[in-house]
Amino acid sequence: MKNIATMKGYCLMAGLFCASFLVHAQTTFLLVSGIMQDGGQPQLGCLQACCKNVKQQQFVSSIALVDSANSVFHLLDATPDIVSQFQLIHHALPTTFKLGSIFLTHAHIGHYTGLQFFGREAMNATDVPVYVMSRMSAYLTKNGPWSQLVQLRNIQLQALTQGITVQLGNFQITPLLVPHRDEFSETVGFNVKGPSKSLLYIPDIDKWEKWDRLLATEIGKVDYAFIDGTFFADGEVSRPMREIPHPFISETVTILAALPRAMRERVYFTHFNHTNPLLQHTHPDRIRLEKDGYHFATTGTKLPL
């Protein structure tokens, strides 16, 4: 039998066969299906250079958890770009794979509004399991159009509890409360354990020092940490940034500066605002941070779990 490296070479020449082979080579893995802040890229109203080329569209932050043994994938967040993200996921997987469930982090527009496409105006799905915390459940149940999805059984809400693990096939998924602007729901990140690797997913948090956990400690518990990289530094947008608090990447790397390189290499920044200069692969600060071991999430990336 040819080794995986050789087979990967054949895959690249064979087009779609490559995706099928890699799925079977990696029984459980994560697939990055989006990397942007809620407004995506291009963002509505933006006439800057970063938004002028519509062909450079980037999807809102989301991750698919792929369980090949059970031919399912689970989504972390249902973004406004979910239609295109489904196409991306299905291009990477055999046609036999189905959506298993959705886990929602919170009620800001980039993280749950994709649910609308499961309604009768679009997919008209039946009983898609949607895992939510208690306030998020109440929000979806009591407010239209989301309440109609519940009433018509397009989606089926499943209760999450802080720190309590949900077992789904080869994945164990645990919600972790984080401080954020909780106008309509609480906010959680997720700790995901696969058979061989683990993931921390926190696309939104106000500031790391407000959390009741130490970021460095949590990174030490996992193999990959996909964390809030919305802004690089203060002054990046024209409005007061205290109104939209996030940990600046410049602050995060200061907090993690004492970590050994092997730990820094677990970090993947994601959830980028369209103004974030580190979206530019040639930006000197991005190059510097990559040399220090940090990663920047890229749509389409696969990592074994």
Q: What is the mean pLDDT of residues 26-41?
A: 89
Residue 52 lies in a domain: yes
Which one-letter DSSP state was computed for residue 59? Answer: P
Residue 15 belongs to some domain of the structure: no
User: What mean pLDDT, rounded, does the chain reach?
Assistant: 89
Residue 35 lies in a domain: yes
> What CATH number is attached to the domain comprising 244?
3.60.15.10
In a domain, 9, yes or no: no
- CA geometry: angle 141, 146, 149, nearest 5 deg: 90
8 has a pLDDT exceeding 80: no
Answer yes or no: is 6 within a domain: no
Segment 214-234 mean pLDDT: 95
Pairing relationship of beta strands 166-168 and 62-67 according to DSSP bridges? unpaired
What is the sign, positive or negative, of the torsion defined by CA atoms of 39, 45, 49, 51? positive
Strands 295-296 and 188-193: unpaired
| Structural domain includes residue 49 | yes
Query: In the chain, helix, strand, coil percent, each to 5?
Result: 35, 25, 45
pTM > 0.85: yes
Domain span including residue 268: 26-304
Helix (H), strand (E) at residue 285: helix 284-291
Is the per-residue pLDDT at 287 higher than 50? yes
Domain presence at residue 16: no
| Contacting residues for 40 by C-beta, under 8 A, at least 6 apart | 57, 58, 59, 60, 80, 81, 110, 274
Confirm whether 4 is domain-assigned: no
Identify the weakest region by mean pLDDT among 7-11, 43-47, 91-95. 7-11
Question: In the chain, how long is the greatest CA-to-CA distance?
Answer: 60
Instruction: Tell me how far the alpha carbon of residue 94 is from its chain's centroid.
Output: 22
Looking at the structure of the chain, the number of domains it has is: 1
Q: For residue 245, how many other CB atoms are within 10 A of its CB?
A: 17
